[in-house]
Amino acid sequence: MEHVYRDLSTLPKAHLHLHFTGSMRPTTLIELADKYGVHLPEALSSGTPPKLRATDERGWFRFQRLYDIARSCLRSPEDIQRLVREAAQEDVRDGSGWLEIQVDPTSYAPHLGGLIPALEVILDAVGAASRETGLGMRVLVAANRMKHPLEARTLARLAVRFADRGVVGFGLSNDERRGMARDFDRAFAIARDGGLLAAPHGGELTGPASVRDCLDDLRASRIGHGVRSAEDPRLLRKLAERGVTCEVCPASNVALGVYEKHEDVPLRTLFEAGVPMALGADDPLLFGSRLAAQYEIARRHHGFTDAELAELARQSVRGSAAPEGVRAKLLAGIDDWLAS
């Protein structure tokens, strides 16, 4: 039994599952809403995370509505710069040495002069925040499952075009109960051919079949969430053998009602099956906890020792798109943390 717990905010780690608007500080949202005269529902203005049950249609609709209201408060390049800078600061505070932030630039295009200018503003903000905070930071462009697959192809081409400006991956988010993975296979082929990492969401609101579709139809090298693969031992073996990293977001899973309580999230099942994991905060604005808190959940509710938490941190680094030098530095830092 370990009695001296090391500080989890000083454990070097990579953050691979953080959504753009969802990374916002609640205080920043309140200020921006005031600036633009946007009325915030109590769930966003109270500073306490709303109760969300997204496993039913109404719950997911409510989650999306809150997210859309928050996103409507990001209207200028300055707002984008502030959001990215603060997200980087929060990550550094939590021990992150590498962040891949996920964004659908379509959502911000109307206020920022179109799709290409929107992505340029986002990438410029990421570059500036990275220089200012010292955090390695890149972008994962994500298509929306609820929209037409042709839109996803447009986004994939755009993502590839900006691969030398900081885009490292291509994702697919929103309600996985809508839109089959295979409908987006062309978009993912464009992204993969352009050297981008394929990281669609799967195995969150629906079961193991959704993860299998991401592997077979989209040739995913990472899965956003992927927790429901715990229900299928053969799928777990497949993920472990292929070394596919699952971006597991424990606080989010409980907040959205995927699992009833923290102890139910199958962290142990995935870990012991040898499936690589990268713990992520998903949408701290709505779920109330950031990166280090996810490691705290693994420690407190799943009995992960410091050696096991260090291994989770290593898995997050190995699953990232970080260059070799950054990886080596983070991995050495993890060893130092464990030796301290």
Closest CA to 227 of 271, 183, 261, 184: 271
Q: Is 247 known to be catalytic?
A: no
Tokens representing 330 are 């983070």
As a whole number of angstroms, the distance between CA 222 and CA 246 comes to: 6
Per-residue tokens: 195: 């050297």
Alpha-helical runs (H) found in 103-162 = 109-112, 115-133, 149-161
DSSP 162-200: TGGGTEEEEEEES-TTSS-GGGGHHHHHHHHHTTPEEEE
Burial (CB < 10 A; 0-12, 13-18, 19+), residue 318, is: middle
CB-count exposure of residue 151 (10 Å: 0-12, 13-18, 19+): middle
Active-site position among 204, 231, 241, 263? 204
SS3 74: coil
- Rounded Cα distance between 22 and 186, Å, is 28
In the chain the first and final C-alpha atoms are separated, in Å, by 17
DSSP label at residue 224: E
Instruction: Write the CB contacts of 165 (distance below 8 Å, at least 6 apart in sequence).
Output: 123
Contact assessment for residue 102 and residue 19, using Cβ atoms and an 8 Å cutoff: yes
CA distance 299 to 281: 16
Residue 154's region, left for phi above 0, alpha for psi from -120 to 50, else beta, is alpha
Q: Give the catalytic positions in this structure.
A: 204
